[in-house]
Amino acid sequence: MSSEPDTKIIDLIQASAKEALTEGGAGFQSLEFFPPRTDTGVMNLMDRLGRMKATKPLFVDFTWGAGGSTADLTLDLTTRTKKEHGLVPNMHLTCTNMPVDKIDHALAQCKEHGIRNIVALRGDPPTGSDTWEAAEGGFTCALDLVKYIRKNHGDYFGISVAGYPEGHPNRIKEVPGGVESLSEAEKGRCKISQDAEGKEVVTVCSDADFEIEMNYIKEKVDAGADFIITQMFFDPAVYASYIKACRDRGIEVPVVPGLMCINAYGGFKKMTGFCLTRVPPELMAKMEEMKEDEKAVKAFGVDYGEKMCNALLAAGAPGLHFYTLNLEKVTVGILDRLNLLADYKMAEREEDTAQMIGMIKSSKKSPEESGPENGAGVTPAAPSSLVQTRDEERVLTPA
């Protein structure tokens, strides 16, 4: 039996924008999760969703594991979230290991369950592979997937795609000439770090490569994408510059900032290194200062998240999309500061552990077996399934 079709997210975003204008609202919030590896992890995640739905997210995302490894579970979580919790799901769909018949099956299942919202991505290489290859008879990039959905399903599905305010990680390269050799635009999105010997390293997506990125995102929008969800970033000025770059090129769809909450020092360092993310000097200095104090890092994560969210909303962000890492405390803390918590109640047991580190490092015990806030559902060795490569080349939930 078919379920009642969801409202398309673009319509919800437009309604939220109208409400913000007429009633002074602060914009919406949405949440991204990923499929846990065990049944216990799935149970913990569904419990978490039962609590976090009280924050009234506009929609919730579920990622599609690297190489399509969680395809069935992603669809199951998506349908359960709609049926059991009454939330609007936005299901990731990637091209990896997905010939056209599997794409057709996934979309048919979505229609059967009334799921109308898709995040169209290229996806990451299969686990254990460093290179991405199209499946036989499949698609080579997110643009192909957007075109296919629109050609075969018309306007039924709402489609979101990924955007890269700092440029795609595959286009971010080391600059031998240092900061002095960069243009003003490049200086605004470059990353300055130090190698093991203390030497300064500057990396950036060059202006020429950034133009390629912008041309590609415009192609995805022109092909039928309704809105953009960005890769994670930690400098609000980067988002403002990206919005201007979009509007200058005639890209007028909503651009929703994707936010990775700061939960732990180790995870922050590894994720920003993995994604080549720009980190403002004052933020890095603060993280270094408190790196041995896990509780202080979490508290700072809430403080910084609040400050960043307010800056993004002031810059015109239509809403805030949180890459939760299947965690709860920091995201909820930020929402509380923004007066977006609604009727949420924290779980009775909330344990503090290095949950983000567990996302990167393999461990003998699966984190989702250990309790509500120690990393329930975190997949230890698969960071790319969390901040998922969003198109043919993105290295968070949100190619």
Q: pLDDT tens for residues 92-102?
A: 998 766 778 88
Q: Which of 32, 328, 368, 392 is catalytic?
A: 32
Supply angle C-alpha 247, 313, 159, rounded to 5.
55
Domain around 250:
9-167+207-385
Q: Is residue 3 part of a domain?
A: no
The pLDDT of residue 63 is 85
**Does residue 97 fall inside a structural domain?**
yes
Question: Using one digit for the tens of pLDDT, what is the confidence trace for 14-30?
Answer: 999 988 777 666 789 99
Q: How confident is the model at residue 381 (pLDDT cuts 50, 70, 90)?
A: very low
The two tokens of residue 145 are 């997937």
pLDDT average, residue stretch 163-177: 94
3-class SS at 265?
Answer: helix
Q: Are 188 and 200 in contact (CB under 8 A)?
A: no
pLDDT tens profile 281-311: 999 999 999 999 999 999 999 999 999 999 9
196 occurs within a structural domain: no
Q: What is the CATH number of the domain that holds 292?
A: 3.20.20.220
| pLDDT-derived band at 195, boundaries 50, 70, 90 | confident
pLDDT of residue 352: 35
Mean pLDDT within 264-283: 92
Q: Give the per-residue pLDDT at 332.
A: 93
Q: Which residues contact 302 (CB under 8 A, 6 or more apart)?
A: 330, 333, 334, 337
pLDDT of residue 95: 78
Q: What is the mean pLDDT of residues 166-190?
A: 94
The answer to the question of residue 133 being in a domain is yes
Q: Is residue 48 in some structural domain? A: yes
C-beta of residue 83 within 8 angstroms of C-beta of residue 3: yes
The number of folded domains in the chain is 1
pLDDT for position 133 = 60
pLDDT at 369: 32
Cβ-proximal residues to 390 (8 Å cutoff; 6+ apart), any chain? 119, 121, 122, 142, 161, 162, 164, 229, 231, 398, 399
Question: Which one-letter DSSP state was computed for residue 193?
Answer: E
Alpha-carbon span 258 to 268, nearest angstrom: 15
pLDDT computed for residue 277 by the predictor: 94
**Is residue 127 assigned to a domain?**
yes
Percentage of residues in the chain having pLDDT higher than 70 = 79
Contact assessment for residue 369 and residue 353, using Cβ atoms and an 8 Å cutoff: no
Residue 198 lies in a domain: no
**Phi, psi for residue 189 in degrees, rounded to 5:** -125, 5
CB 394 within 8 A of CB 167: no
In a domain, 172, yes or no: no
Rounded Cα distance, 66 and 244, in Å: 32
Active site residue 211: no
107-118, pLDDT tens digit by residue? Answer: 999 999 999 999
Question: pLDDT exceeding 90 applies to what percent of the chain?
Answer: 62
249's tokens: 């090129």
